[in-house]
């Protein structure tokens, strides 16, 4: 068969295969257009999972007659005026969405460029005919009978319900990218314009995240409602900025559904970011569980290529390794803020609220609202809850005076929970989980003991495996493994962590495979984590052990001063606070 140039409608249908895979991709492209047009209110209605109808109305700038005629031409866009593909600041730039969608559906566009005083217009995309319309301002794109012209594709659609879920997900991702914009989907999912970020996150991820997301601000963080000012900018290279919300480690999902990632405002699915997120939580969450997040990475447009996939959901970073370590560092810092610092700050902020709590408490003597908690961060930790040398003191004498954030010990129940009272309510501490976390953090903060090898251990690998391992050599050094290339196809290990024997050759092969698949490796740090965690678990106060008041008090004060104290290193919670509000509710006060 001779070569022939394909006709335009066929080219568009082929392009549509990449750009508009599913109804959700149509919704995504049309919302992106509305955002690019400056809309701050977008109303989306779909029927039958988007198969029969997708209708999107925006209050953006609208289109002139010339633009309306051009918008469904292939590779026609108003967004690349400089022609510079490495300096993209709009959601769209490929000029492919409208012609692609038009080629696989019955589409009409109503629009009016009110700013020019022009009148409303309506375009029938099948015929190209433009007629006057009563449309008042902004744009409405109506897509009917999607894929009816391409039956093969129609066959590949999933159930209406499944397609609808995809649409909801697409809307949620875009809604999280722009809290300043209002979104209404089928009159059921409503995200009002200018909604505070924290509220939008709860609306999107569910009520269970309320008060359990840690906010990262460029250089400071807010934990739930508690703000923590860090007098330190997390990133000395100000060209990268990370902000948003991440979940407390005790809040997690079985899949990655609630991980929302954005690069320069664009929702993305990116393995560098996902990998960094996972690595940041490695100490506090098992690998089968997924943290929640709405994370926004900002960097100069030139450092990221968004023109990688037609759907624009993938990106390439110029310096993925730097981005990865920047994100890990920032998130780890946020997760590590010791409790004492978190509550200290809250105390300063809402003394009035606390005074309220104090008034409602009649059962116990509570600390006075003016009392400083700051003292605890510099306290000498008391270590005498090691049970070896003490006889439990069952006398109900309260040895401690300066209550920290976890409050004043009241006693122990079931020989496994410590009961305490703080300004907010009743505190219940799992003694084993608490001690385990403290032990783990102590082990971890100790320098890794390195053992130089008299004869370097040479591991034969494929050249591409060598390249992959060398890419993460610095991270491996931090975990105690010093190595370098040894010819084309081997790696020599010069130092390994002392008292730790592994099949290092197998480990390097695993690391190489992981780096090649995901661009990074957490194999070694995960193994290290498991080793420390096992040790910490073994050497910790067990459930079932009786503790005296002084031991319990010491344990509480230590938790307050410990990093990542909210959960044990298996991710289970260490303590819970039952607020007075809730107690009052029990007694209908």
Ligand X SMILES: Nc1ncnc2c1ncn2[C@@H]1O[C@H](COP(=O)(O)OP(=O)(O)O)[C@@H](O)[C@H]1O
| Range in contact with ligand X (rule: CB under 6 A) among 93-101, 324-332, 404-412, 504-512 | 93-101
The nearer residue to Mg ion, 91 or 493, going by C-beta atoms, is 91
66 CB-near residues (< 8 Å, 6+ apart): none
Least Cα distance to 56 among 97, 21, 10 occurs for 97
The CB-nearest residue to Mg ion is 92
Question: Residues 40, 53, 64, 93: which binds ligand X (CB under 6 A)?
Answer: 93
Q: Are 171 and 44 in contact (CB under 8 A)?
A: yes
The CB-nearest residue to ligand X is 92
- The answer to whether residue 43 forms part of the interface with ligand X (CB under 6 A) is no
Q: How far is the CB of 168 from Mg ion (least distance, A)?
A: 21
Name the token pair of 31: 């919302």
The nearer residue to ligand X, 52 or 137, going by C-beta atoms, is 137
d(CA 268, CA 364): 51
- The answer to whether residue 310 forms part of the interface with ligand X (CB under 6 A) is no
The nearer residue to ligand X, 94 or 226, going by C-beta atoms, is 94
The nearer residue to ligand X, 77 or 259, going by C-beta atoms, is 77
Q: How far is the CB of 466 from ligand X (least distance, A)?
A: 42
Build a one-symbol-per-residue string for 58-87: x at contacts with ligand X by CB under 6 A, - elsewhere: x-xxxx---x---x----xxxx--------
- The answer to whether residue 33 forms part of the interface with ligand X (CB under 6 A) is yes
| Range in contact with ligand X (rule: CB under 6 A) among 42-50, 92-100, 488-496, 562-570 | 92-100
Q: How far is the CB of 79 from ligand X (least distance, A)?
A: 5
The nearer residue to ligand X, 29 or 553, going by C-beta atoms, is 29
- The answer to whether residue 247 forms part of the interface with ligand X (CB under 6 A) is no
Rounded (to 5) percent helix, strand, coil in the chain? 40, 20, 40
The nearer residue to Mg ion, 54 or 97, going by C-beta atoms, is 97
Classify the C-alpha dihedral 34-311-101-7 as positive or negative: positive
Question: Residues 59, 139, 247, 562: which binds ligand X (CB under 6 A)?
Answer: 139
Q: Are 148 and 132 in contact (CB under 8 A)?
A: no
d(CA 446, CA 128): 71
Question: Residues 23, 50, 95, 275: which binds ligand X (CB under 6 A)?
Answer: 95
The nearer residue to Mg ion, 33 or 108, going by C-beta atoms, is 33
534 CB-near residues (< 8 Å, 6+ apart): none
Q: How far is the CB of 207 from ligand X (least distance, A)?
A: 33
The nearer residue to ligand X, 177 or 569, going by C-beta atoms, is 177
- The answer to whether residue 268 forms part of the interface with ligand X (CB under 6 A) is no
Report the partner that residue 480 touches, choosing among ligand X, Mg ion, none (CB closer than 5 to 8 A by kind). none
Strands 482-485 and 490-497: antiparallel
Binding interface with Mg ion (CB under 5 A): 33, 92, 97
Q: Are 44 and 32 in contact (CB under 8 A)?
A: no
The nearer residue to ligand X, 95 or 320, going by C-beta atoms, is 95
d(CA 299, CA 339): 31
Question: Residues 26, 27, 34, 568: which binds ligand X (CB under 6 A)?
Answer: 34
The nearer residue to Mg ion, 224 or 265, going by C-beta atoms, is 265
Q: Are 285 and 293 in contact (CB under 8 A)?
A: no
Binding footprint of ligand X, residue count (CB under 6 A): 24
Type and span of the H or E element at 388: none
- The answer to whether residue 98 forms part of the interface with ligand X (CB under 6 A) is yes
Question: Residues 96, 220, 441, 560: which binds ligand X (CB under 6 A)?
Answer: 96
Residue-by-residue DSSP string for 137-175: SEEEEEEESTTTT-HHHHHH---HHHHHHHHHHHHHHHH
d(CA 72, CA 585): 60
Strands 138-144 and 259-263: unpaired
Type and span of the H or E element at 241: strand 241-247
Q: What are phi and psi of 583, to 5 degrees?
A: -60, -45
In the complex, which residues of this chain contact ligand X (CB under 6 A)?
A: 29, 33-34, 36-37, 58, 60-63, 67, 71, 76-79, 92-98, 139
């Amino acid at each position: 068969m001779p070569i022939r140039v394909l006709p335009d409608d066929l080219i568009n249908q082929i392009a549509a295969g990449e750009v508009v895979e599913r109804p959700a991709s149509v919704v995504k492209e049309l919302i992106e257009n509305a955002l690019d047009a400056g809309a701050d209110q977008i109303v989306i209605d779909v029927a039958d999972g988007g198969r029969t109808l997708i209708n999107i109305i925006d209050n953006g700038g609208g289109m002139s007659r010339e633009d309306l005629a051009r918008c469904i031409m292939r590779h026609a866009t108003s967004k690349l005026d400089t022609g510079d593909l490495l300096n993209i600041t709009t959601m769209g730039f490929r000029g492919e969405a409208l012609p692609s969608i038009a080629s696989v559906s019955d589409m009409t566009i109503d629009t009016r460029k009110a700013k020019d005083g022009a009148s409303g217009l309506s375009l029938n995309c099948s015929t190209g005919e433009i007629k006057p319309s009563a449309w008042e301002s902004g744009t409405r794109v109506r897509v009917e009978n999607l894929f009816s012209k391409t039956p093969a594709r129609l066959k590949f659609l999933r159930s209406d319900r499944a397609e609808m879920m995809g649409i909801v997900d697409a809307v949620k991702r875009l809604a999280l990218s722009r809290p300043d914009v209002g979104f209404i989907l089928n009159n059921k999912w409503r995200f009002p314009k200018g909604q505070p970020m924290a509220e939008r996150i709860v609306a999107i991820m569910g009520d269970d995240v309320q008060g359990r997301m840690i906010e990262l601000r460029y250089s400071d963080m807010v934990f739930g409602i508690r703000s923590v000012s860090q007098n330190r900018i997390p990133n000395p290279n100000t060209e990268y900025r990370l902000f948003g919300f991440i979940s407390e480690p005790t809040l997690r999902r079985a899949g990655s559904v609630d991980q929302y990632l954005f690069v320069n405002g664009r929702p993305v699915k990116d393995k560098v970011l996902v990998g960094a997120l996972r690595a940041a939580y490695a100490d506090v969450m098992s690998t089968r569980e997924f943290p929640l997040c709405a994370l926004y990475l900002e960097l100069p447009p030139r450092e990221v290529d968004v023109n990688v996939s037609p759907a624009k959901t993938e990106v390439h970073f110029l310096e993925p390794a730097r981005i990865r370590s920047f994100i890990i560092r920032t998130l780890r810092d946020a997760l590590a803020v010791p409790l004492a610092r978190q509550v200290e700050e809250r105390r300063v902020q809402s003394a009035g609220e606390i005074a309220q709590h104090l008034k409602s408490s009649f059962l116990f003597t509570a600390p006075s609202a003016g009392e400083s908690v700051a003292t605890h961060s510099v306290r000498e930790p008391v270590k005498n809850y090691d049970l070896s040398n003490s006889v439990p003191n069952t006398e109900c004498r309260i040895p401690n005076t300066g209550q920290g954030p976890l409050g004043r010990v009241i006693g122990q129940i079931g020989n496994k929970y410590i009961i305490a009272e703080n300004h907010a309510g009743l505190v219940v501490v799992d003694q084993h989980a608490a001690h385990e976390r403290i032990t783990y953090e102590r082990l971890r903060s100790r320098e890794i003991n390195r053992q130089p090898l008299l004869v370097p251990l040479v591991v034969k690998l494929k050249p591409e495996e060598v390249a992959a391992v060398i890419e993460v050599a610095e991270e491996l050094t931090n975990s105690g493994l010093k190595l370098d290339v040894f010819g084309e196809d081997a790696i020599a290990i010069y130092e390994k962590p002392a008292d730790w024997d592994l099949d290092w050759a197998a480990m390097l092969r695993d690391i190489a495979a992981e780096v090649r698949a995901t661009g990074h490796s957490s194999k070694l740090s995960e193994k290290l984590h498991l080793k420390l965690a096992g040790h910490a678990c073994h050497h910790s106060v067990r459930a079932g052990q009786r503790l005296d008041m002084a031991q319990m008090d010491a344990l509480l004060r230590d938790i307050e001063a410990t990093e990542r104290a909210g959960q044990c290193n298996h991710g289970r919670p260490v303590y819970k606070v039952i607020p007075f509000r809730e107690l009052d509710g029990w007694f209908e006060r």
